[in-house]
Amino acid sequence: MPKKRKKHGRRGRPSKPRKPRLSKIKVQAPKGTHDILPEEQKYWDKLRAVVAQAATNYGFGRIDTPVFEDVRLYIKGTGQNTDIVQKEIYTFKTKGGEQLALRPEFTPGIVRAYIEHGMKNLPQPVKLCSIGPVFRHDKPQAGRYRQFHQINFEIIGDPTEVSDVQIIQTFVSILKRLNLKKFTIFINSIGCLMCAPKYKKNLLSYYKKRLNRVCPECRRRFDKNPLRLLDCKNEKCKKVTNEAPQILDYLCDECRLHFKKVLEILDDLEIPYILNPYLVRGLDYYTKTVFEVWEDKDDSGQGALLGGGRYDNLVEMFKGKSTPAVGAAAGMERIISFLKKQDIKISEIEKPKVFMIQLGELGKRKSLKLFDEFQRNGIKVGEAFSKPSIKSQLKIADKEGAKIALILGQKEALEDSIIIRDMVSGVQETVLIEKVINEVKKRLKQ
Ligand code: AMP
């Protein structure tokens, strides 16, 4: 016979109802992602503010594109044989059967938007700035995440060297405004559809004879993405690269002249750079100028702060009309880590000088209303509305460095008054609520 559940505890008293059991799981941020906690936000706010200022100064308009796009955009744009598409892209099929990808970089989405919104009809070039998360299924390690954030600038519709330089100049101005001075710009030209194929042919024949001296990854690159052979950081491969043919010897007249002018303008602007004839970048769409900015004088560290280049064929590849363009992206996590390494102080957001203290139900309600009125008057006010005791609220006000505490208890609420307490001297004065904002303004000016 089934046992009857006891309705009464010992001594006949009704037993307490049992709290239902919750099924629990242990959750952690997915590998390669990170939370940006409140204490970190000052770096992010500062960086965003500096980027917004640079965008205004150099005439870039902000554009926000979706974080996911049709996967074909990246296969075609970023390139089928790039590391991004081969190994790192996050793709998924929707319930409706669409094949989408989380954006691994900004440029293809921005070019899509340029075509889709008929921006070719605007005065050219169109200068666009974006900021936001990107996703790459990379091996997580220091400075390398699976979700990270990029600052991205593009100039679409100008073939001249001025735009190449302006992209570099904009990023240099951002780093300088952040007081970051110890960085190095590496620059190269990888030619165009006319001259690059001849170089690639010669490069392949050079490596063909030396395949036994390079790493397995480079042997894969030999078949799929030969320019990336030059990019390998493996010491064994670097020795082979050091004697490889250099693209600069193969540039056509147009590419050579373009690159010469880019370097001349950088010299005029006194922006120092190092010419690295083996810099190629990882993506398929680049033509002519490519560049990267690193923390140190060599490019063997954790990774570049930023990188970019010219991409004169991408708009056309997406069924747009032939439109030259240039752009670059910087990793926000890397810039922030650089700021911390250089021990650059970021000023804290100014804490409120006024703190509101409430007591009792009516006091709390009136305080919430008054708090709003202070905001409307542009006065920042601190609060700890969840704390019931005056002692604990005063302690927080003191810790936060408030100059003035406003105390609204049951008595004051009934009398439409409020106590103003000078947090330094401890002197208190009661005023009518309707006068408190002006009184606080007066005291803050003193
Ligand atoms: P890329 O287009 O790959 O050169 O990326 C541009 C910039 O984004 C780099 O210079 C880095 O600052 C940053 N970046 C790229 N990949 C990662 C990653 N996995 N984690 C953090 N930052 C990254």
Mind listing the pLDDT tens digit for each residue in 331-367?
Answer: 999 999 999 998 888 887 788 999 999 999 999 999 9
pLDDT higher than 60, residue 56 = yes
- In eight-state DSSP terms, residue 78 is I
Whole-angstrom distance, CA of residue 434 vs CA of residue 402: 22
Percent of the chain with pLDDT over 70: 96
Kindly report the backbone phi and psi dihedral angles of residue 437, in degrees, each rounded to the nearest multiple of 5, phi listed first. Answer: -65, -45
pLDDT of residue 223: 86
Residue 11 has pLDDT above 70, yes or no: no
For ligand 1, whether the C-beta of 138 sits within 6 Å is yes
* Sequence letter at residue 40: E
> Can you tell me the distance from the alpha carbon of 285 to that of 189, in angstroms, rounded to the nearest whole number?
13
The two beta strands, 381-383 and 417-422, are unpaired
Q: What is the chain's length? A: 446
What mean pLDDT do residues 421-428 have? 95
Q: Which of 363, 427, 424, 353 has its CA nearest to residue 390? A: 363
CB 150 near ligand 1, within 6 Å: yes
Give the separation between CA 201 and CA 226, rounded to whole angstroms: 9
Confidence of residue 319 (pLDDT cuts 50, 70, 90): confident
- Say what the pLDDT of residue 220 is: 87
Query: Which atom of ligand 1 has the smallest separation from the CA of 332?
Result: 12
CA distance 411 to 432: 12
Residue nearest to ligand 1 atom 12, measured at CA: 331
Compute, in angstroms, the gap from residue 154 CA to the centroid of ligand 1.
16
Q: Is 418 helix (H, G, I), strand (E, B) or coil?
A: strand
The HSE-up count of residue 294 (CA atoms within 13 Å, CB side) is 15
Cα of 375 from ligand 1 centre, angstroms: 40
Pocket residue to mutate for ligand 1, from 33, 51, 136, 175, most atoms within 8 A of Cβ: 136
Is 151 close to ligand 1, i.e. is its CB under 6 Å away? Answer: no
Omega of the bond prior to 108 within 30 degrees of 0, cis?
A: no
Q: What is the mean pLDDT of residues 437-443?
A: 96
Half-sphere exposure of 288 (CA within 13 A, CB side): 25
pLDDT of residue 303: 83
Report the distance separating Cα 193 and Cα 176, nearest Å.
35
Determine the residue type at 100. Answer: L
304 C-alpha to center of ligand 1: Å?
Answer: 7
> Is the Cα dihedral 340, 345, 348, 353 positive or negative?
positive
With cut-offs at 50, 70 and 90, classify the pLDDT of residue 233.
Answer: confident
Mean pLDDT score, 13-36: 89
pLDDT at 390 (0 to 100) = 92
pLDDT at residue 362, rounded to an integer = 93
Q: Mean pLDDT across the stretch 60-79?
A: 96
Over residues 104-108, mean pLDDT: 98
pLDDT of residue 99: 98
Q: Which one of 168, 279, 334, 339 would you pick to mutate in the ligand 1 pocket, going by the greatest count of ligand atoms within 8 A of its CB?
A: 334
Query: Is residue 356 in contact with ligand 1, taking CB distance under 6 Å?
Result: no
What are the two backbone dihedrals, phi and then psi, of residue 156, each rounded to the nearest 5 degrees? -110, 125
- Cα–Cα distance measured from residue 331 to residue 89, given in angstroms and rounded to the nearest whole number: 17
Please tell me if the CB atom of residue 254 comes closer than 6 angstroms to any atom of ligand 1.
no
More confident residue, 407 or 141: 407
What does the pLDDT read at residue 348? 75
Does residue 2 carry a pLDDT above 70?
no
CA of 136 to the centre of ligand 1 (A): 9
What is the end-to-end Cα distance of the chain in Å, rounded?
83
Distance, CA of 108 to CA of 156 (rounded, Å) = 12
CA distance 428 to 404: 10
Place of tokens 């810790």: 399
Per-residue confidence at 446, pLDDT binned at 50, 70, 90?
Answer: confident
* Angstrom distance (rounded) from CA 360 to CA 390: 10
Report the DSSP beta bridge partners of residue 332.
none
Over 70: is that where the pLDDT of 253 sits?
Answer: yes
Mean pLDDT of 165-192: 96
Residue 256 phi, psi dihedral angles, 5° rounding: -65, -45
pLDDT at 300: 56
All domains in the chain, ordered by first residue: 38-195+251-341 (3.30.930.10), 354-445 (3.40.50.800)
Tokens at residue 329, please?
């992206």
C-beta pairs of 263-268 under 8 Å, 24+ apart in sequence:
263/187, 265/161, 265/162, 265/165, 266/165, 266/168, 266/185, 266/187
Residue 406 contacts residue 436 (beta carbons within 8 Å): yes
In this structure, which residue's CA is closest to atom 21 in ligand 1?
A: 144
**Which atom of ligand 1 is closest in space to residue 144's alpha carbon?**
20
Q: Does 334 contact ligand 1 (Cβ within 6 A)?
A: yes
Ligand 1 atom with the smallest distance to the CA of 306 is 10
Of all atoms in ligand 1, which is nearest to the CA of residue 145?
A: 20
Q: Is 296 helix (H, G, I), strand (E, B) or coil?
A: coil
CA distance 417 to 433: 5
Please report, rounded to a whole number, the percentage of residues in the chain having pLDDT higher than 90.
Answer: 81
**Segment 142-154, tens digit of pLDDT:** 889 999 999 999 9
Q: How many CB atoms lie under 10 A from the CB of residue 397? A: 25
| pLDDT value, residue 225 | 84
Element counts in the chain: helices (H) and strands (E): 15, 16
Choose the weakest-confidence range: 39-43, 252-256, 317-321, 424-428: 317-321
Ligand 1, atom 15: closest residue by C-alpha: 331
The average confidence (pLDDT) of the chain is 93
Do residues 134 and 148 lie in contact, with contact meaning Cβ atoms separated by under 8 Å? yes
Confidence (pLDDT) at 375: 93
CA gap 276, 279 in Å, rounded? 6
Pick 2 or 148 by higher pLDDT.
Answer: 148
Query: What are 431's strand-pairing partners?
Result: 418
* CB-CB contact of 388 with 363 (8 Å): no
Residue 319 CA to ligand 1 center (angstroms) comes to: 28
pLDDT at site 212: 92
Whole-number pLDDT of residue 314: 96
Q: What is the pLDDT of residue 53?
A: 96
- Measured CA to CA, the distance from residue 157 to residue 120 in angstroms comes to 8
Confidence of residue 39 (pLDDT cuts 50, 70, 90): very high
Q: Strand 91-93's sheet: what is its strand order?
A: 68-70, 99-102, 91-93
pLDDT of 298 strictly over 60 = no
Q: Record the tokens describing residue 296, joined without a space.
A: 């140190």
